[in-house]
A and B are shown apart, each in its own frame.
Chain A
Amino acid sequence: ETGVTQTPRHLVMGMTNKKSLKCEQHLGHNAMYWYKQSAKKPLELMFVYSLEERVENNSVPSRFSPECPNSSHLFLHLHTLQPEDSALYLCASSQVAFSGNTIYFGEGSWLTVV
């Protein structure tokens, strides 16, 4: 138990579907992140939220839409995805964004786009 919970753990969706990934952190942190992990590639930062405000968006296609209703919850809304979007999506949190604080990761959501 890392204190960061992600659901669902596995998701298969068609290219025309709309789905959402959910993340909840129980650590009292102020920053939350979405990362994408593709096979044999380094983790790619997608979005950073600090106190519910988006502070970084790393040129992510608009078919990925994040939402942070409060400092404990983070969503990633998915629509009209492509097969190359299949990957492990990791949610993470830290006490403060852009600092030396340890980043705590969730277990990830395995996404397969068919």
Chain B
Amino acid sequence: KNQVEQSPQSLIILEGKNCTLQCNYTVSPFSNLRWYKQDTGRGPVSLTIMTFSENTKSNGRYTATLDADTKQSSLHITASQLSDSASYICVVSGWMDSSYKLIFGSGTRLLVRP
């Protein structure tokens, strides 16, 4: 079964600290991996997108890494801010059962405290 597992489910950190969110997937064959940020009550917003040939992609204080061999990705947030409090969703896509599918993780809820 194609799955995307994220950890931890939730995380609390102090403002200014760094944190790393994990995404493990079993989707195969793999096409690309996206990280989205979803503020409470809002729609998800794309942070990064990586193909299997990319190892890292940055977007400001957000850096995503991808290891296609171990099927793992991480999202590192540097110098966290209160506005980083949100859910972070890992999405893996590929051609499965003759159709193109996006498999969503359940997300990691991050709370940044002052």
Contact = CB atoms under 8 A, between A and B. Distances in A.
Interface of A: 2, 4, 6, 40-43, 45, 56, 90, 92, 97-100, 102-108, 110
Main secondary structure of the interface of B (DSSP, over half): strand
Interface residues of B, number: 24
B44 A105 contact: yes
Interface of B: 4, 31-32, 34, 36, 41-46, 49, 51, 89, 93, 99-107
Main secondary structure of the interface of A (DSSP, over half): loop
A20 to B, nearest CB: 19
B45 A100 contact: no
B51 to A, nearest CB: 7
Contacts of A56: 99
Contacts of A106: 43
